[in-house]
Amino acid sequence: MKHRIVVLGAGYAGAFAAGNLARRLSPLDIEITVVNAVPDFVERMRLHQLAIGQNLAFRKLADVFEGTGVRLRLARVTGVDPGRRTVAVTGEDGDGELAYDTLLYALGSSVAHHGVPGVVEYAFDVTGRSSAQRLRERLAGLGEGGAVLVVGEGLTGIETATEFAESRPDLSVALAARGELGAWLSPKARRHLRHAFDRLGIAVHEHTGIEAVEPTRAIAADGTSIPADVTVWSAGFAVHPIAAASGLDVAETGQIVVDRTMRSVSHPDVYAAGDCAYAIGENGRPLPMSCASAGFTNLQATAAIIARLTARDVPTIGLKYYGNHISLGRRDAIFQMVDTDVRSKSWYLGGRTAARLKSGVLKGAGWGIAHPTFGMPKRKRRLATVPDRAGVRAAA
């Protein structure tokens, strides 16, 4: 009997993990199934580009995993039963159930509404392909002078506002920030950011919390009305409640609480990677929801899974956050280094050089997904044990 590994989600964390597992473990011993709701690999970091009308090529997951032995199940996850070691799914083939011996939970995150009235009904977001496509269609029908308000001063909000303003200078783009724009950046990087906003003509409403969204405006906490034909909500991320409902130990955020190896602290057959993992970094703080964290956690999770299945010592992958890379349109960017306490260092890289570096990072991530078996070892590792379906592991 083969050891059944099920990977939930084929975003940056899940797709990389599935490729790594297929590359390093023998198909004689394992079967890997990836469950994903859509047939394509979605480059989430580029969805603001899709929303503003740029044409992006999406890789078919069937093509990505072709020849790797990875099975792709196009379905939406509706539940996890860690006691029975099963996953409930629904898709074009109807409802079904997948059994696993090892589960890698990498379902990512979606936009956080924070219970603000009108966000669900009237706001748009760029956290998923379908929502970005919906925004794309709305913006395409917006004429000259149309008002677009981006809510949120984090990385997604900044990248969205600058991309929109650069690509559509006919629009009136504004950003609402709860605090000061770029307050977490170094002084020089903050000035660079403000110059970029001024150059692109983006209006900034600082110290402005949005308390309600309506069809043609947003209402601030002080009662101020901000005109908006389109409101783009980018005020944080939230994870799906499936993990909490399954009985896995989760944090207040709903993220799965994991140990240093990305293994669930409550269920040893479950690992988590990406935004859905509540992982503590080397500075003693939870890793932020980000593509960089998805990289760290997926590498650690796959290394731990492989080591334990092949009776080797589990290696330690660094969980240190190095900095933030922020696109400011296609020709400008900021790379801000941070210290061990995630405070911005005085040094930063900006301008076209930073933009080229960001482009290289995105292309590298896409290439890595498209070539999951690159560098495949001549001899893959064999499992030290094979699963007994009664739950007992026997010597191979």
For residue range 38-77, list pLDDT tens digits in order: 999 999 999 999 999 999 888 999 999 999 999 999 999 9
pLDDT tens digits along 145-164: 999 999 999 999 999 999 99
Mean pLDDT of 23-31: 93
Helix (H, G, I), strand (E, B) or coil at 337: strand
Mean pLDDT of 193-214: 98
Higher pLDDT, 222 or 341: 222
Mean pLDDT of 103-121: 96
Mean pLDDT of 299-327: 92
The domain 3-109+239-321 having CATH identifier 3.40.470.10: the answer here is: no
CB 299 within 8 A of CB 374: no
Q: How far apart are CA 321 and CA 126, in angstroms?
A: 24
Q: How far apart are CA 393 and CA 269, in angstroms?
A: 13
For residue 266, the 8-state DSSP code is: S
**Encoded amino acid at 50, one letter:** L
- Listed as own residue / partner, the contacts of 63-69 with beta carbons closer than 8 Å and 24 or more positions apart are 64/15, 64/19, 64/369, 64/370, 64/372, 65/18, 65/19, 65/22, 65/34, 65/372, 67/373, 68/18, 68/19, 68/22, 68/23, 68/372, 68/373, 69/22, 69/27, 69/31, 69/32
Burial status of residue 57 (CB atoms within 10 A of its CB: 0-12, 13-18, 19 or more) = exposed
Geometric angle at alpha carbon 143, from 118 and 214, rounded to 5°: 10
Amino acid 396: pLDDT: 36
105 bridge partner residues: 8, 272
- Which helix (H) or strand (E) covers residue 190, if one does? helix 187-200
353 has a pLDDT exceeding 90: yes
Specify whether the backbone of 193 is left (phi greater than 0), alpha (psi in -120 to 50) or beta.
alpha
Amino acid 388: pLDDT: 56
For residue 151, the 8-state DSSP code is: E
Amino acid 15: pLDDT: 94
CATH 3.50.50.60 location in the chain: 3-109+239-321, 114-234+322-375
Q: How far apart are CA 261 and CA 312, in angstroms?
A: 14
Specify whether the backbone of 165 is left (phi greater than 0), alpha (psi in -120 to 50) or beta.
alpha
Amino acid 93: pLDDT: 80
Amino acid 384: pLDDT: 79
Amino acid 292: pLDDT: 83
Spatial CB neighbours of 391, under 8 Å, sequence gap ≥ 6: none
CATH fold of 114-234+322-375 reads FAD/NAD(P)-binding domain (3.50.50)
Mean pLDDT of 265-283: 96
For residue 115, the 8-state DSSP code is: T
pLDDT tens digits along 255-264: 999 999 999 9
Q: How far apart are CA 91 and CA 35, in angstroms?
A: 10
Count CA atoms within 13 Å of residue 87 on its CB side: 29
Burial status of residue 341 (CB atoms within 10 A of its CB: 0-12, 13-18, 19 or more) = exposed
Supply the pTM of this predicted model: 0.92
Tokens, residue 262: 């990305």
**Encoded amino acid at 310, one letter:** T
